[in-house]
């Protein structure tokens, strides 16, 4: 049982290198400090249509964009409710993809899994084989683009191309911790649903989730009585069409921050943003290989989260605490009890750049005496 602990407001400022929430620009935080306005006012239409259309432009997609108050898990649940009548094939290779399977089971769906050991990546050939050999006509195949628990970047582009050969099977991608820092051509690879949370590579304060939905996925939901109310594609997109607003009261202040940050993202552009993230990822991998080893299967390392295998047997918890205390930098241990001390993770996403990542790695070197 947790006991009440007073929030004092008196905490040292930390630089976040965790895989989200990540650093947010000061003026983006400040953008939230406007007097409140009503979610049915014209001003709200200005705000919501701006952030929706800017997001389409940034992600370079003609598909529909929904931005709702909540976290990415909202769309993990609602996409399954909206698209799956009976059978879903969930590819699993870490904690978040296993969550996707668990969510589908709780919703009463028939869940088949294509399972990989943590640290391995999902292979398009295996997905093809499963779809070819199975007697089941799956309503959807799911995949996590960036397994934040293991630092694996799954080849969702190739998997999307495989699933596209099955027109009645929809492809659902959890891109939390990737979108905004790792470019994917959503339309070209027939990704029906792809969602993220804004506190990751979008570098915004938490509170909103973004979902990109194909016309086919929208159509598919229309005939379903069991579709989600809150995360329903139809309700959200029809409301947008008619009013340019959300169906229920959104986190207006966070949307103000979103507007500000999305302008910066558009200024940088997705190609430059992708390149910056690649540079951070390559540097971190090189550093990790020099001192430790990378945990993910070679060739499938994430562009936004480095999961580093603790080959030196350092005390991960102690190192994190020392770096925190001496430098006010916060990075992450491995995910859960399985990887807690065996790995550690560095989130190189959002507002970070090569210099800020180098500052962290030298702090780790100093503390551990590497």
Residues of this chain that interact with ligand PLP (CB under 6 A) are 20, 71-73, 96, 144, 146, 148, 174, 176-177, 197
> Exposure string (b/e) for 33-49, b if CB count within 10 Å is 16 or more?
eeeeeebeeeebeebbe
Cα-based angle 243, 244, 246 (whole degrees, multiple of 5):
90
Least separation, in Å, of the C-beta of 113 and ligand PLP?
A: 16
For residues 229 and 94, give the distance between their C-alpha atoms in angstroms, rounded to a whole number: 29
Nearer to ligand PLP, 44 or 122 (CB): 122
Q: Residue 101: which of 44, 142, 40, 46 has the closest Cα?
A: 142
Q: Residues, the chain, total?
A: 370
Residue entry with tokens 């169906």: 247
Least separation, in Å, of the C-beta of 72 and ligand PLP?
A: 4
Least separation, in Å, of the C-beta of 243 and ligand PLP?
A: 26
Least separation, in Å, of the C-beta of 169 and ligand PLP?
A: 21
Nearer to ligand PLP, 98 or 363 (CB): 98
Least separation, in Å, of the C-beta of 95 and ligand PLP?
A: 8
Q: How many CB atoms lie within 10 A of CB 328?
A: 12
Nearer to ligand PLP, 72 or 124 (CB): 72
Cα-based angle 95, 97, 103 (whole degrees, multiple of 5):
100
3 DSSP assignment: P
For residues 325 and 322, give the distance between their C-alpha atoms in angstroms, rounded to a whole number: 5
Nearer to ligand PLP, 146 or 169 (CB): 146
Nearer to ligand PLP, 174 or 221 (CB): 174
């Amino acid at each position: 049982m947790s006991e009440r602990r007073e929030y004092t407001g008196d905490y040292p400022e930390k630089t976040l290198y965790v895989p989200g929430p990540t650093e947010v620009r000061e003026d983006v935080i400040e953008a939230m400090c406007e007097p409140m306005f009503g979610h049915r006012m014209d001003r709200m239409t200005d705000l919501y249509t701006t952030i929706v259309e800017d997001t389409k432009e940034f992600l370079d997609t003609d598909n529909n964009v929904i931005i709702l108050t909540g976290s990415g898990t909202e769309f993990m649940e609602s996409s399954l409710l909206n698209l799956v009548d009976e059978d879903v094939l969930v590819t699993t290779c870490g904690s978040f993809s296993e969550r996707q399977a668990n969510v589908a089971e709780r919703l009463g769906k028939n869940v088949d899994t294509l399972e990989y050991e943590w640290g391995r990546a999902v292979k398009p050939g295996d997905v093809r084989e499963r779809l070819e050999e199975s007697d089941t006509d799956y309503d959807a195949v799911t995949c996590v683009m960036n397994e934040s628990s293991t630092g694996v970047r799954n080849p969702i582009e190739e998997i999307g191309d495989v699933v596209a050969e099955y027109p009645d099977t929809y492809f659902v991608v959890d891109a939390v911790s990737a979108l905004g820092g790792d470019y994917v051509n959503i339309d070209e690879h027939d990704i029906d649903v792809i969602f993220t949370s804004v506190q990751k590579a979008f570098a915004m304060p938490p509170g909103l989730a973004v979902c990109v939905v194909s016309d086919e996925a929208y159509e598919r939901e229309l005939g379903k009585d069991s579709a989600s109310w809150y995360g329903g594609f139809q309700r959200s997109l029809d409301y947008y069409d008619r009013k340019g607003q959300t169906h229920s009261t959104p986190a207006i202040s966070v949307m103000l921050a979103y507007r500000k940050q999305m302008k910066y993202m558009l200024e940088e552009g997705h190609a430059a943003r992708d390149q910056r993230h690649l540079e951070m990822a390559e540097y971190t991998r090189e550093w990790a290989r020099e001192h430790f080893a990378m945990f993910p299967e070679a060739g499938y390392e994430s562009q936004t989260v480095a999961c580093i295998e603790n080959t030196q047997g350092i005390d991960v918890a102690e190192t994190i605490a020392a770096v925190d205390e001496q430098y006010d930098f916060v990075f992450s241990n491995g995910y859960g009890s399985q990887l807690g001390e065996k790995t550690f993770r560095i989130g190189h996403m959002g507002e970070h750049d090569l210099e800020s990542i180098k500052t962290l790695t030298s702090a780790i070197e100093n503390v551990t005496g590497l």
